[in-house]
Amino acid sequence: MDNRPIGIFDSGVGGLTVARSIIDLMPNENVIYLGDSARGPFGPKPLDDVRDYTFEIISFLKDEGVKLVVIACNTAASAALEQARAHFAGLPLMGVVEPGIHAGLAATRTGRIGLIGTVGTVEAGAYDAALAATRKSAFLFKAACPDFVDYVERGETEGDEVEALARSYLKPLTDEDIDTLILGCTHYPLLAKTIKKVVGESVTLVDSADSTAFEVADLLSSVGQRRIDSQPAWHRFISSGDPVAFASLGERFLGPEVKGAEKISWPSMQAGADAHEAGVVSRG
């Protein structure tokens, strides 16, 4: 038995889709979720910067006593997972890329799989590497959708404007006659209704959240670290951006578990800020 929390992070609210799946599958587990909204979205950022952010966040979560960290951000997982595993030896780290590929391969009938993600995710090539590692025969067609994250962070997940954007992003993939589409950003499931309308009923949408949750559960079970306690689990939410806005969007997308959010300030962003403001979790 291990009562320590599971740590989950993303560049904003998108990773709450992964948190939702983990909480649903393992309701007895304590969870700390961190959304780095002040520095997100990570997709257009230089990959070296994303690696730095990832290491800083994992360091924070490690100090908070987590037993495992889920990098619920495709860009961060693509840019930094392997380096982070080497640096944080002894702390289990899990990304969302490998579970996404596994789910995509399980879903496809023709072997023609589409992938949409941020610029950073698409350019990093982590999905290509994960597919190659399976040694399965399939084709991966990719498209970057850089503006989707901003729409989700504003809560604009439906409507003519975002649908037109989706059609322009997805046309190169539908032209390739894909039968499966991996939503390679944890924000994108929040756009699933719009995306499905564009790609049609014949294309299966793959969200890596559920497959990630199952892999987390399998890992914790294999090492005897599942929480077994009669006391209800707790869920803690932290944002580097506006905690009120985060909690409002979080409640909409995750549910009543998001009753509020703490604020974190990173050392590099504290110049001129009052680090002792009420409710601030400071680092350094």
- CA distance readout (Å), 243 to 205, 214, 238: 31, 29, 7
Q: Which one, of 201, 203, 211, lies nearest residue 177 by Cα?
A: 203
One of 19, 101, 130, 185 is an active-site residue; which one?
Answer: 185
What residue spans of the chain are helical by DSSP H? 16-25, 47-63, 74-87, 97-107, 119-124, 126-134, 148-153, 160-174, 192-199, 208-222, 243-253
| β-pair partners for 139 | 112
The string of DSSP codes covering 190-217 is: GGHHHHHHHH-TTSEEEEHHHHHHHHHH
Residues 6+ apart with CB under 8 A from 161: none
d(CA 193, CA 158): 8
145 is catalytic: no
Q: Quick one: tokens of 260?
A: 């509020």
Q: Using DSSP bridges, classify how beta strands 262-265 and 280-282 pair: parallel, antiparallel or unpaired.
A: parallel
Residues 6+ apart with CB under 8 A from 121: 43, 74, 75, 78, 127, 144, 184, 185
d(CA 205, CA 104): 9
Q: Which amino acid is present at 125?
A: G
One of 8, 73, 126, 182 is an active-site residue; which one?
Answer: 73
Q: Which residues are catalytic?
A: 73, 185
